[in-house]
Structure 1
Amino acid sequence: MAQKIFIDGEVGTTGLQIAARLETRGDIDLIRLDESRRKDRNARAEALDAADIAILCLPDDAAREAAQIVAGGDTRLLDASTAHRVAPDWVYGFAEMTAGQAQAIAGARFVANPGCYPTGAIGLIRPLREAGLLPADLGVSINAVSGYTGGGKALIAEYDAGTAPKGFVYGTGQAHKHLPEMAQYGLLDRAPIFVPSVGNFAQGMIVQVPLHLADLADTPTPGDLHGALAAHYAGSQFVTVAPLGDPGRIDAEAMNDTNGMTLYVCGDATRAVLVAVLDNLGKGASGAAVQNLNLMLGVDPATGLT
């Protein structure tokens, strides 16, 4: 029997992308509200209660309200907002993060979809922490550039109108909403220095973590770092580790329209640069949401994503 799925906030950037991936599936019955009822609390509550799984593509406060609405019922939630990513009783929805994470997502009632930047950063850092190569108290720097669709409808409108800068850095005050999940799921004792930026392209993302190898445990080589990443992601459906070494130009748009992420280890005998490339709208948002939904439904994680 088809599972009833409600996307609360379907008309936003992430919601539209998720709906496009689900609407032709025979195993899913999408609950949809007329435009006039999408902001009606009672209509939303009815849809939330009727759903087997509700996907929240909402501002943080509205996502918290939705969680309160279903608290006494049976509806499972997959939250694409920032509201519950480090909340207790919520499972973090990065299936490849650590052993057993996919199974935890599959069995959870409440799943928090990761942020786009943290997916790349944690994807690089967590395996090295688990391998004992990266100290918990290391001062980590994360530099990243995303396509402008990551800024939502308002920023997209600026680029469409030609009024936005060709590229810009933001979040320099170190209060970015992604920092808590980067530290918690990166197993870092110290919050990283995070410098995000936006490029003059619609979608795609590069996340970089530069490292002085002498600051790491037993001064590993780039090959050691590469080996740890390759071992961690061996057999992954969606995460690929590129061959060791400098590949030349790394294209921010290389993984667009996929749920894939490619990781690189570059550097020399004293320094390394770890790089993650993903689609901010794919593995960084809607693709990851569909992957997590598939896990919660007990179907192939790649369903609707190939």
Structure 2
Amino acid sequence: MIQEPTVFIDGEAGTTGLGIRERLLSLPVRIHSIDPARRKDPEARMEAMAASDLVVLCLPDDASREAVGMVGHIATSGGRAPKILDASTAFRTAPDWVYGFPELSSDQPELIRNASRVSNPGCYPTGAIALLRPLIDAGVLPADFPISINAVSGYTGGGRNMIEAQERNGGPPFLLYGLGLGHKHIPEITEHTRLTRQPIFVPSVGHFPRGMIVSVPLHLDRLNRKVHAAELRQVLEEHYVTSGFVSVCKAEQTLTADALAGSDRMELRVHSDADQRHVVLTARLDNLGKGASGAAIQNIALMLGISPEVSIL
């Protein structure tokens, strides 16, 4: 009888960790947990890592780097090091890590499947990369094109302090932030879209728990050749035609950010004016679904040789 693979979530008490644990119940895996009282005990954590086939890190950046060092110590001590899926921002542009967005390219699922270290994408970058990378790869959008990215997320993406503030005091109805224009997701977006000019990225938070819209306005008459909105849509449709998680949908006059709350899917749209010269690209997803825990389950399934389609919500 083949033994089910074992998964240990280091940081399972956090929002992303809880979401991953819940979704893991649908996969043929064993979840290795430690006594909550010892969750910060390095010895207990290393024992759990050594006993697992895959470790999911749901930790702040510095703590993730420390945990990766623990896994490295297991290997150098003669033990069998587990695979690692990291949900922090620490390794998303690291050259020796595989980026965990299976829809990035046709060979990305195989790269993830064979990788020992995979970085789970950020929620905002997931939408931006999904919209822009296929257009740049197809040569429709130049890599040096000036891009502005606007995004709004549910407040659960802001961590425990923001969640408590929003739910205790009501919080602001809308919060624009990152106005120093140096948000930590910019390197990730730039690298994995293959942009050569750094985009302007303006994130925001709305007073709703879950959901996200990422939008990218484009002036098509600034492109080097004549491109219509229909061509952009066709490129996206062809890129995602086999995806069970990402779909290209009909443009709508209005979009609500929380429509996919609780889902691991993402919807892409190409909105245009009558002349198709002004375009707004939009990606709608759940910041805790395809933007976090749902993406992690896709990667876990690939890394452990399990069909990722079982995790669709």
Where does residue 102 of structure 2 map in the other structure?
Answer: 95
> Aligned partners of 2:112 and 2:46: how far apart in 1?
24
Q: Which amino acid aligns with 2:96?
A: D
Q: Which amino acid aligns with 1:74?
A: A
1:181 aligns with one of 182, 188, 194: 188
Cα deviation for residue 18 of structure 1 reads 0.6
CA contact (8 A) 1:132 1:217 kept: no
Q: What SS does structure 2 have at the residue aligned with 1:69?
A: helix
Q: Which amino acid aligns with 2:58?
A: C
Per-residue CA deviations over 1:236-288 (Å, capped at 9, x if unaligned) read 10100013x4x121121121211100000011232100000000000000000
2:23 aligns with one of 16, 21, 24: 21
> Aligned partners of 1:219 and 1:113: how far apart in 2?
36
Where does residue 239 of structure 2 map in the other structure?
Answer: 232
Aligned length in residues: 303
In structure 2, the CA distance between the partners of 1:101 and 1:210, relative to structure 1 (3 Å rule), is: same
CA contact (8 A) 1:48 1:54 kept: yes
Where do residues 1-306 of structure 1 align in structure 2 (5 Å cutoff)?
1-23=3-25, 25=27, 27-71=28-72, 72=75, 73-243=80-250, 245=251, 247-268=252-273, 269=275, 270-306=277-313
> Aligned partners of 1:254 and 1:103: how far apart in 2?
31
RMSD over aligned Cα, in angstroms? 1.1
Q: What SS does structure 2 have at the residue aligned with 1:231?
A: helix
Normalized against structure 1, the TM-score is what?
0.97
Cα deviation for residue 24 of structure 1 reads 5.5
Cα deviation for residue 163 of structure 1 reads 5.0
Identity value in percent: 51
Q: What SS does structure 2 have at the residue aligned with 1:290?
A: helix
Q: Which amino acid aligns with 1:36?
A: A
> Aligned partners of 2:173 and 2:29: how far apart in 1?
40
> Aligned partners of 2:16 and 2:224: how far apart in 1?
39
Q: What SS does structure 2 have at the residue aligned with 1:70?
A: helix
CA contact (8 A) 2:190 2:196 kept: yes
CA contact (8 A) 2:128 2:283 kept: yes
> Aligned partners of 1:24 and 1:241: how far apart in 2?
26
Per-residue CA deviations over 1:175-223 (Å, capped at 9, x if unaligned) read 2111111000000011110000000100000000000002224130000
Q: Which amino acid aligns with 1:192?
A: P
CA contact (8 A) 2:245 2:312 kept: no
> Aligned partners of 2:43 and 2:255: how far apart in 1?
48
Normalized against structure 2, the TM-score is what?
0.94
CA contact (8 A) 1:21 1:305 kept: no
Q: What SS does structure 1 have at the residue aligned with 2:269?
A: strand
> Aligned partners of 1:305 and 1:271: how far apart in 2?
34
> Aligned partners of 1:305 and 1:142: how far apart in 2?
27
Q: Which amino acid aligns with 2:17?
A: G
